[in-house]
Amino acid sequence: MTWVSLIFAGLFEVVGVMGMSMVNRERTVRSYLILVAGFGLSFALLSYAMTGIAMGTAYAVWTGIGTVGSTVVGMFLYGESKDRMRLLCIAVIVCSVIGLKLLG
């Protein structure tokens, strides 16, 4: 169950980053709520995940999911570059996260 919560923690980190982007575009209550809720849930789930997963592994997986998720969201929702090197770097991060799961 801790791995499931860690995955959701990473996904909610992406929600928090999207909230940050929304706040930069329009400072509304809704934008701030998405930002705070996204990061709040992310940290709470990360904290729970660390009860059963080593801190270094949990943090690396959490940041990996957040990094890849935020980059993919940026590519598809905000028109950021889909350069081959960016995609290669995303693939390396994904392989690293999977490796940590398999070795942990």
- Structure confidence at residue 93 (pLDDT): 93
**How many domains are contained in the chain?**
1
Can you say how many angstroms the Cα of residue 93 is from the centroid of all Cα atoms in its chain? 12
- 53: exposed, middle or buried (C-beta count within 10 Å: 0-12, 13-18, 19+)? buried
Please give the chain's pLDDT, 104 residues, in tens: 999 999 999 999 999 999 999 999 999 999 999 999 999 999 999 999 999 999 999 999 999 999 999 999 999 999 999 999 999 999 999 999 899 888 86
- Structure confidence at residue 103 (pLDDT): 84
pTM attached to this predicted model = 0.88
Owning domain of residue 77: 2-103
- Structure confidence at residue 100 (pLDDT): 83
